[in-house]
Amino acid sequence: MFYAKTKRAKFHTQFISIDEADPIYKNYVETNFKFVDKNGRKYRSADLSSPSPRPNLMYEYKGYKPPRKGWAISLENMKKWDKEGRLIFPKRKNGRIRRKLYLDELKGKPVQNLWDDIQMVSSQSNERLGYPTQKPVALLERIIKTVTDEGDVVLDPFCGCGTTLVAAQQLNRRWIGIDVSPTACKLMRKRMQKKFKIKVHVIRGKVDMNYVKGLAPFEFQNWVVVDKFLGKASQRKSGDMGIDGFTPEVLGGYPIHVKQSKSVGRNVVDNFETAVRRINKKKGYIVAYSFVKSAYEEAARAKNQDGLEIILRTVKELLNGKIE
């Protein structure tokens, strides 16, 4: 489906190269482009009659009368193509002039409605970033080339991991990407800077308690681990021993446990202590909206008796910049 706001909108037909086209199209090319001119160029003979009559196309050329609805080109272009050797003149004057369509000028098979020539991003793909719903760059490149020219601005308001931006940059378009996810924005920025060595300007909306409360569980976890601790989220969604991520290695690589709830109690701290010990760490963080008194008491006991430092941080504290 193609929608446009103005009549100035562009739509450039895209083509699949002959080498990448399906066997039926390849057979069509081999069967039809069977003639060779004096320069060794393959061509096929094509009709030169107009589908609808127009007065300026009803003319005789070199003794050849026009088809019933006239020629497909003007007299000026007829002379031009004749000079370029693109016309085929029959031996008899009652025949029809035809044109040469050269194989080396064939752009390929026009892309139809079914785009089955672009492979999805598989688990083995070099493009794969592990981001949900990631699209292949080739898909976005085709869309962008179809409706824009170099220098145009491409806007993707649901940008995800930034594949649209990568495609636009590679095709010399300007671009703007928008996403509600802080994780997605960080991934976009990192991806563009790493691939193109360019400076990416990020404009952030207001991040307050209302914003944080509106985050989905996955995004809340990533906001804590990636955005506030600058760490790395755990790739395991189950069997993670209560560890949702880690601080950067240069800052100790300490485990982080995230609870998107209030009044977190002692049992959560107890379970996290066990997980921290299993990975031989002496420090860890638990983040929640609030903690009850027994949680703070257990954290203090673990530090005083076992030398295990469990730091409890509320979302409000993170918003105010307090980490340690």
Long-range pairs of 24-31 with CB within 8 A, sequence gap ≥ 24 = 25/109, 29/103, 29/106
Q: Kindly list the domain boundaries of the chain, sorted by start residue.
A: 34-105, 118-196, 209-319
Is 3.30.70 the CATH number for 209-319? no
Architecture of the CATH domain 118-196: 3-Layer(aba) Sandwich (3.40)
pTM of the model: 0.62
Degrees to nearest 5, angle at CA 146 with 172 and 7: 105
Of residues 300, 297, 241, 308, the one with CA closest to residue 266: 297
Q: What is the pLDDT along the chain (324 residues), one digit of tens a residue?
A: 888 888 889 999 999 999 988 899 999 999 999 999 999 999 999 999 999 889 999 999 999 999 999 999 999 999 999 999 999 999 999 999 999 999 999 999 999 999 988 988 888 888 888 777 889 999 999 999 999 999 999 999 999 889 999 999 999 999 999 987 777 888 889 899 999 999 998 888 788 899 899 998 988 998 898 888 888 888 765 556 689 999 988 889 999 999 999 999 999 999 999 999 999 999 999 999 999 999 999 999 999 999 999 999 999 999 998 888
